[in-house]
Amino acid sequence: MSLVIIWGSRIPVVRIARMCGQYAKPRSSEMEMYEGKEIHAFRGDIINGYEPTDRKPDPDRLLRAYFHSAATLNYVRSIIGSGFADLHNPDKWSLHHVRSKGTRQEYQTIIDRLTDALNFMKTIGADFPSSSLSNSLNSIDLFMSHEGLILDYEQCLTRLLKDPETGNLKWYNVGAHFLWVGDRTRSIDEAHIEYFRGIRNPIGIKVGPSMQSDELKKLLNIVNPDKEIGKVTLITRYGCDNVEKFLPGHIKAVKESGHVVVWTCDPMHGNTKKTSSGVKTRYFNSIIEELSKVIHTHKNNESQLNGVHFELTGEGVTGKCFEVIMYNGVVIYSYWMRSSQ
């Protein structure tokens, strides 16, 4: 999928996967009612189980989360190292998951053109096995991300390491390359922001309707006092009916603060609806409407949308997600797996 983005945009792509640590779920309430009884809310497999009888928080799950994170990362590394991402054989990629015949044909056309281009490079000797170009065709770099929600877990994975640029010792979260703080846990005077301001990793901040402009300025100054370009990604999630009400003020606040951020649109989480049976879902029209409004609002306010976050799957569950971020001519593309619950 990232190759299709590269082919269409002619812009490099950095791949960031939301995996190897995303086992926690933010909840507005610690408790919920089930069959007339109050039980713990499901807070993700890192805390408790989904079944009502398995809701008691279990600290051993923190260790199991670490084990599965490491196992997943090692598995991903092994399949990348085995040639899974080798671009020399695009004809071997499976398109069986694409149900639409027309869409499948469009992808096949791209693959055919890629194959032709790679064969031409090989013919003229531009694809030497030892060249850096060949290395970029044989494999990919894949970075990991998740929401830094459970601080007990994140603190155990925080290390004092040398900054590769300056050689100075700084604190890094080694459980992920990129972490973000959610809309429910970004309070200025609470523990999550205190943790995020202390780590060297690039970070994201979810921005919703409840975010005040002055609060946004303070947040940026706290987590990025040196105003490092690209350090902070702002992930907006308003809902399609709220974009024009809140985004202009947030754009203005960022400009006034002097910070240069990566603007990303999340049109999924602000448009979540519940069906009559209680199942959470999103309407495609609402997703496209929010994205369209965000693009135009940035343009009308002399700003630029740098990325968009979608969730999608070829199966009958809410499972597969990807994110595209573009900054200074570079597209950052994320793809991850999520629980169907």
pLDDT per position as a tens digit, 245-283 = 999 999 999 999 999 999 999 998 898 887 777 667 788
159 belongs to a structural domain: yes
Please tell me which residue, 182 or 137, carries the higher pLDDT value. 182
How far apart CA 183 and CA 195 sit, in angstroms, is: 15
Mean pLDDT across the stretch 280-293? 88
Check the annotation: does 64 bind a ligand: no
CB-CB contact of 261 with 233 (8 Å): yes
Mean pLDDT across the stretch 299-319? 75
94 belongs to a structural domain: no
Reported residue count of the chain is 341
Supply the pLDDT for residue 128.
60
Check the annotation: does 237 bind a ligand: yes
123 belongs to a structural domain: no
Total number of domains in the chain = 1
* DSSP H or E run through 62: helix 60-81
Show the domain range for 59: 2-85+139-337
Check the annotation: does 18 bind a ligand: yes
CB-CB contact of 265 with 291 (8 Å): yes
How far apart CA 55 and CA 44 sit, in angstroms, is: 10
Mean pLDDT across the stretch 288-312? 90
Supply the pLDDT for residue 39.
95
* DSSP H or E run through 332: strand 330-337
Supply the pLDDT for residue 114.
80
133 belongs to a structural domain: no
Which spans in 178-327 are helix H? Answer: 191-196, 213-223, 243-257, 284-300
Check the annotation: does 40 bind a ligand: no
**Long-range CB pairs of 283-290, under 8 A, 24+ apart, other chains included:** 286/239, 286/240, 287/240, 289/240, 290/238, 290/239, 290/240, 290/243, 290/265
How far apart CA 94 and CA 108 sit, in angstroms, is: 10
229 belongs to a structural domain: yes
Is residue 333 very low, low, confident or very high in pLDDT (cuts 50, 70, 90)?
Answer: very low
88 pLDDT exceeds 70?
no
Pairing of strands 320-327, 307-311: antiparallel
pLDDT per position as a tens digit, 21-72: 889 988 878 899 998 999 999 999 999 999 999 999 999 999 999 999 999 9
Q: Phi and psi of 164, rounded to 5°?
A: -65, -20
Is residue 119 very low, low, confident or very high in pLDDT (cuts 50, 70, 90)?
Answer: confident
pLDDT above 70 as % of the chain: 85
Check the annotation: does 43 bind a ligand: no
The amino acid present at 187, given as its one-letter code, is S
* Nearest Cα residue to 150 out of 109, 105, 192: 192
132 belongs to a structural domain: no
170 belongs to a structural domain: yes
Is residue 18 very low, low, confident or very high in pLDDT (cuts 50, 70, 90)?
Answer: confident
Please tell me which residue, 13 or 199, carries the higher pLDDT value. 199
326 pLDDT exceeds 70?
no
